[in-house]
Amino acid sequence: MPVHLQIIWLFVLPIPIACIAWTFTHEEVFKEPHEYCVKKSKTSKTLFARKFFYLFTCEYCFSHYVTLFFLFLTGYKLLMENWCGYLIAGFAVVWIANIYMSLFAFLRQAIKKEKTEIEVLEQETKIPE
C-alpha cells in the first residue's frame, strides 16, 4: 500500500476503534457489563483476573484490544510490510484513537458545562409567581 494511503488509513481506522472503546467503557448501553467488570477488577482473588477485567473498564486499555481485532480484520500495516508494520500500526492507531476519544471527552464536557450554565441562568431569570 502506498504511504499516502497508509496515512489516510492511519486517521480513518481509529474512528471506529475509538467509537467502540468509548461506547463500551462510558456509555449507558453497556452500563451493567461495565459495572460488573469494575467490580471484578477490584474484588477478584487473582492478579490475572483483576487485570483481565480492568481491560474492559479503561478506554485506553480496551482500545489496544479493539485495535488488534481491526488490524487482524483489515491487515493494515504502517511503513513496513513485515510484522514490524503491524507493531508500528498498532501503536500508532491506538495513539490516534485515544486522541479522538480525548477530543470527544473534552467536547462533551464543554457541552455539559454550557447546558448547566444555561439552566442556572434560566433559574435566575425565572419570574417568581
Quote the pLDDT of residue 128: 64
**28: helix, coil or strand?**
helix
129 within some domain: no
CA atoms within 13 A on the CB side of 13: 28
Report, as an integer, the average pLDDT of 3-10.
Answer: 94
Q: What is the pTM of this model?
A: 0.79
126 within some domain: no
111 within some domain: no
Domain count, the chain: 1
Q: What is the DSSP letter of 81?
A: S
* 33-74 per-position pLDDT tens digit: 999 999 999 999 999 999 999 998 988 999 999 999 999 999
- The whole domain housing 89 covers 3-100
Query: First CA to last CA across the chain, in angstroms?
Result: 70
Which segments of the chain does DSSP mark as H helices, in order?
A: 3-12, 14-26, 31-43, 47-54, 59-74, 83-125
20 within some domain: yes
Distance from chain centroid for Cα 64: 9
Inform me whether the pLDDT recorded for 23 exceeds 80. Answer: yes
